[in-house]
Amino acid sequence: MADITSQEFININDDCIKVMENGISVTTCALFIVATMAGSGILAIPKALSESGWTGIVLLILGCCMSLYCGIILGQCWMLTNRTLESTRQHIRDPYPTIGKIAAGKLGKRIVEICVLVTLVGVCTVFLLLSANQISSIVSKNIGSLKPQNEFRVFVLICGLVLLPFTWLNSPKEIWQFALAASLCTIIACIFIIIRTSMYLYENGVASNDKRTTETFESFFSAFGTIAFAFGGATVFPTFQNDMKLPDKFPCAAIYAFIAVLFMYIPVAVLPYLAFGSTVDGNILKTLKNLEGNGKFMITMSEVVITLHLLFTFVITINPISQQLEKYFKTEHNFGRTRVILRSSIVFFIIGISEAVPHFEVILSIVGGTTVTMTSFILPCYFYWILKKSIPFYVKILLLEIVLIAVISGGSSTYTACTQLTNPFVS
């Protein structure tokens, strides 16, 4: 990573750095990154470790380092794009596809557009499903004579309708409060999960070996898909960077955010694995909620704050989709009827997917193994290779290794997830 020091980043791009007076700060950008990555990851990472065993810790750290490095070079790609294309000195709605266009022409732009849309629709679907799942768990009451699956569909619809007006806000500059609130909610949930799991460990000790299953090819690469998803925020990084007051400071924001997320993920992954072995649910809060004894209040509060986090993050994550489609349909930048209709249509489309495939674990693994792998690992390396005219040999080797790992692991993860795609309402 020595190839892209902060000083080099600034020097190379002195002629293209713009100062956006009303832009977001480094700290706010870091909060956006944390909010985007940490929520669903906190719930799913314990299951990933239970599937991959202790090697999952190595996988977790490797995924973090790879994603951070790729996020930083993607940030430099955006700065190099600014220097190459005069029009990007103004605020644009689709920064990542613009990078693809400058690096690889119209085909590159189309590939990025498809990957970004599929990734973010998948992520928003996961957030909506998890929100409905958590609200259903908190309420714990039947809705008339509806069957459980139809009750769940009602909660999905309610969540989508509640979030709808907030999706009309223009860009990250207008929704920084959501990033702050989402990050705080995640930290609170992590603290409660760590305390409750520690209480169980103190009372019952470490899980016996017979509760730990042997890792298989399928379980290991399914875990990779989950971990890739947990660190897969690169899809929206250019959007955040584009709204920064000083876009050249994005690497600092990324480093702060990834360190914070890793420090949250490791204890939340390790402690449940020590306590429960491989019997961890796809949503760690379900496992903790079924425990006997004290601590139920903490888990209920965790469900509340995680639900709030997911709702806040839905608003953040859907914003790049909206801006990209608004660019495609040439809608006005100002608030108006066209924006309301287009963005509302996007929300209802995501609600429809959520109603049809209500198992978030499968969507998470499939999206994590395909488009998240593309946008977070493969495309940043490829675009950086093209846009940066002079790259040291050892950096080229590193980029090739990242792409190779991503292709093998992502492909295997996708295959594993697809084999699990059965009747979505059958447990």
Report whether 99 contacts 77 (CB < 8 A): yes
pLDDT band at 424 (very low <50, low <70, confident <90, very high): very low
On the question of pLDDT at 141 being above 80, the answer is no
Q: Is the pLDDT of residue 354 over 80?
A: yes
Q: Global pTM?
A: 0.83
Q: What is the pLDDT of residues 258-267, one digit of tens each?
A: 999 999 999 9
**Which residue's entry shows tokens 């409660």?**
192
- pLDDT tens, residue by residue, 222-241: 787 788 778 878 888 998 99
Rg of the chain over CA atoms, in angstroms? Answer: 21
Q: What is the pLDDT of residue 347?
A: 94
Q: Tens of pLDDT along 375-405?
A: 999 999 999 999 998 899 999 999 999 999 8
Tokens of 4: 């892209």
Could you report the per-residue pLDDT of 285-334, keeping only the tens digit for each? Answer: 888 988 887 888 898 899 899 899 989 999 988 988 888 888 888 787 77
Query: How many percent of the chain have pLDDT more than 70?
Result: 88
**Which candidate, 235, 250, 236, places its Cα nearest to that of 79?**
250
How many CB atoms neighbour CB 5 within 10 A? 11
Which of 57, 403, 417 shows the shortest CA–CA distance to 219?
A: 417
Mean of all residue pLDDT scores within the chain: 84
Distances from the Cα of 256 to the Cα of 208, 232, 236, 306, 346, angstroms: 37, 16, 17, 22, 32
**∠ Cα 280 309 269 (to 5°):** 30
pLDDT of residue 11: 41
Predicted local confidence at residue 4, as pLDDT: 41
CA 21, CA 339: separation in Å to the nearest integer? 25
